[in-house]
């Protein structure tokens, strides 16, 4: 994956778009920090969103590290089930916006 600055993206927009259309992923940085990722539209946007949601959930769970007794698993208790529902709804909303 190629990483470029936002300034380089502005200067070389056409060639960056050509690279992405050809299948390459390009990470764009802003002030030296990753800002966004350009990926080719291969028709698997929902799969990509699910993968990103799973990574985000794994990161959130790793940060919290609750014990099983501390983590409610029933809907409506603000626990794992509600967290998964929220991530799923966010992913579906993003897919719907993309397809609109």
pLDDT by residue for the chain (100 residues), tens only, comes to 899 999 999 999 999 999 999 999 999 999 999 998 898 887 877 787 788 888 888 888 777 765 555 555 555 555 566 666 666 666 555 555 555 4
Q: Is the pTM of this model over 0.75?
A: no
Position 47 scores a pLDDT of 81
Contact 92, 85 (CB under 8 A): no
**Within this chain, do residues 17 and 55 fall inside the same structural domain, yes or no?**
no
How far is it, in rounded angstroms, from Cα 90 to Cα 56?
12
Q: Which domain holds residue 16?
A: 2-38
The answer to whether residues 13 and 52 belong to one domain is no
Contact status, residue 96 vs residue 65, Cβ threshold 8 Å = no
Asked if 49 and 76 sit in the same domain, the reply is yes
The whole-angstrom separation of Cα 6 and Cα 9 is 5
- Tell whether 31 and 51 lie within a shared domain: no
For the chain, the straight-line distance linking the first and the last C-alpha, in angstroms and rounded, comes to: 28
Whether residues 50 and 88 share a domain: the answer is: yes
| Same structural domain, 55 and 94 | yes
Q: How many separate domains does the chain show? A: 2
């Amino acid at each position: 994956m190629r990483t470029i600055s936002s300034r380089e993206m502005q200067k070389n927009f056409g060639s960056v778009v050509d690279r992405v259309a050809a299948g390459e992923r390009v990470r764009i940085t802003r002030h030296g920090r990753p800002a966004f990722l350009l990926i080719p539209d291969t028709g698997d946007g929902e799969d990509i969103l699910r993968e990103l949601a799973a990574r985000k959930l794994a990161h959130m769970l790793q940060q919290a590290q609750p014990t099983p007794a501390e983590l409610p698993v029933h809907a409506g208790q603000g626990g794992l089930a509600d967290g998964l529902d929220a991530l799923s709804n966010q992913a579906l909303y993003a897919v719907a916006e993309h397809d609109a």
